[in-house]
Structure 1
Amino acid sequence: MIKLSQDLIEQAARVAPDATLATHFLLPEARPAMLALLLFHHEIARARQVVSESMLAAMRLQWWRETVHEIYQANRVRGHPIAEALAQTIRQHELPRAHFDAMIDAYGAEQEPQPFRDWPALLAHCDQSLGQFHRLALLIGGVGALSCPLDEACKQAGIAWRLWELMAHWPKWAQRHQCWLPSEALTSADLEEVCRGALSLAAQSGLRQAKDQINTALNAANRALVRADLNQAFGAIAYVSLARTYANRFTRLTDPYVHPVQISLLRRQMLLIWSVARQRL
């Protein structure tokens, strides 16, 4: 069983509170590996957010790309606690490398100010980032193989949560003059207008479209889950069920640039218990 330091456990709870909360529904032996995967994902997902230049973000992603390569080549793992935990996770669960490479490549697309032209391009990005994350999460959770229904559930769950993350980080990327909603959703506003600070009608429309896409993805994920058998592994993706509540509250705010969406711990616990009991998102 993988051993994680208390510092890493606490870090996972800080950077991915909902997903970490959902890991309590996994079998005990799967939880440390899931936390290691969460921490790795956080490192690559924030590559562009923590630096001022896209070149620096590319360097961070390349470091992780090389680290993953070293793990699969059975080379000595770099002296980094998350890299070491990831190496243990990959070896214990025999995780396919392709999912990791696809995730890293996906986050490399976020270096441009407005990288996605239309919804299909953005949805494909969501699948290649968080969809791949969910495929790995289910393998850690104990599914023997990813059937077609499970693969589709992972894709749609990835779309739902990644879109919510982009909505939630609207203030941050607006300040940096980045817009990760597709340009077709903002046809009546240019990038400067969207990032100026006031929530324009075009921006409001784009966020409502994102909410509709989230609900569509969750409904599609649940249709796929009807045909799948997840059992104990469902906890690996159960947190995505919160995306619907978050998105609905976010789009009702008068100024998402200022007001965060908050749900109490008790409320999140109850929603997760209900989701796990039904095995539906």
Structure 2
Amino acid sequence: MINLSPDLIEQAAQVAPDQTLATSFLAPQARPGMISLILFGHEVARARAVVSEPMLAAIRLQWWREALDEIYGSRPVRAQPIAQGLAATIHHHSLPRVWFDSFIDGFDVEQDPSPFATWDQLLDHADQTCGAFNRLALLIAGAPAISTPLDAVARQTGIMWRVWDLLAQWPRWTARRQLWLPTEAQSDLDVEAVFAGKPSPALALVLEQACQLVLAARRAANQACAQADFDQAFPAIAFAALAGPYARRFTRLGDPFRQVANLPLLERQLRLVWAVARQRV
């Protein structure tokens, strides 16, 4: 059994409330490992957000690569609570390293002012990051292996969550004079107006395309869910069921430079209960 301090559990609830809420539907023995994965994911995903220079973000990502070297090399693991919890999770659940490396490497793109040339590249990035996270989550939750249907579920729910997350981070990216929108979608945009925080019909149209990617991934995810044998593992990716409602609220807001508030707690709970009961997102 993995032992996590109450402080780490509380930290997860603060930094990733939707993912942490979904862990309440997991078997008790899977929850500590999932909390550890959530905290690791948050630390990597925020590497660029909390520093002023791309080089500093690269240093933070390298720190986690070196922590994984210690964990998988059976060497003493640095005395940092999240790294210690991750080490216990990896060993307890026999997690493969490849998806951790994929997750970290995927966030290197946030150092690029315009990291994606096409929508397909953005979707592959979503799979490389959140899709990899979901594969690890499913293993922690009890999936004996990542079958072809489970791999498809992990990819599509990863697309749902990462694209929604990028939409939510729109103000942060543009404040750094970066655009995650693919260059193929930028031709009709006044980029300087975007960086100045000015909404426009052209920008709204392109962001609506991104929202439609979330909804298309939801349909593809549920087609894969119908073929997957989850047993008790589904709740590990149930949080993705909230991405669709968030994306729809984002488009209704009419101003991407405003922060989109979380759904009310009761609504999130009910949506997660319904998702877990149906094993659909």
Same structural fold, with TM-score higher than 0.5 when normalized by the shorter chain: yes
Query: 1:67-99: per-residue Cα shift (whole Å, max 9, x none)?
Result: 101100000000100000000000000000001
- Offset of 1:107 from its aligned partner? 0.4
> Equivalent residues in 2 for 1:215-254 (5 A)?
215-254=215-254
> Equivalent residues in 2 for 1:206-221 (5 A)?
206-221=206-221
User: Greater CA deviation, 201-210 or 271-280?
Assistant: 201-210
Question: Paired residue for 1:268?
Answer: 268
| DSSP-derived class of the 1:96 partner | coil
Question: Paired residue for 1:140?
Answer: 140
**Amino acid aligned to 1:139:** L
Question: Paired residue for 1:84?
Answer: 84
What's the TM-score, normalizing by structure 2? 0.98
**Amino acid aligned to 2:262:** Q
**Amino acid aligned to 1:132:** A
1-structure distance, mates of 2:262, 2:224: 29
1-structure distance, mates of 2:20, 2:271: 14
1-structure distance, mates of 2:261, 2:207: 14
Question: Paired residue for 1:130?
Answer: 130
1-structure distance, mates of 2:159, 2:245: 15
Q: What stretches of structure 1 of length at least 5 have no aligned partner?
A: none
Question: Paired residue for 1:42?
Answer: 42
- Offset of 1:190 from its aligned partner? 4.5
Cα RMSD (Å): 0.9
Question: Paired residue for 1:176?
Answer: 176
1-structure distance, mates of 2:252, 2:136: 34
2:20–2:35 contact (8 Å) kept in structure 1? yes
2-structure distance, mates of 1:189, 1:256: 14
Question: Paired residue for 2:71?
Answer: 71
Query: 1:89-144: per-residue Cα shift (whole Å, max 9, x none)?
Result: 00000000001111111001111111111101100100000000000000000000
Question: Paired residue for 1:57?
Answer: 57
**Amino acid aligned to 1:186:** Q
**Amino acid aligned to 1:63:** W
- Offset of 1:260 from its aligned partner? 2.1
Question: Paired residue for 1:118?
Answer: 118
Question: Paired residue for 1:205?
Answer: 205
- Dislocated runs of 4+, deviation >6 Å: none
Query: 1:167-208: per-residue Cα shift (whole Å, max 9, x none)?
Result: 011111111111112122222125323221011222211210
**Amino acid aligned to 1:140:** I
Q: What stretches of structure 2 of length at least 5 have no aligned partner?
A: none
1:177–1:191 contact (8 Å) kept in structure 2? no
Q: Using a 3 Å threshold, how does the CA distance of structure 1 residues 102 and 135 change in structure 2: closer, same or farther?
A: same
2-structure distance, mates of 1:112, 1:269: 37
What's the TM-score, normalizing by structure 1? 0.98
1-structure distance, mates of 2:182, 2:256: 18
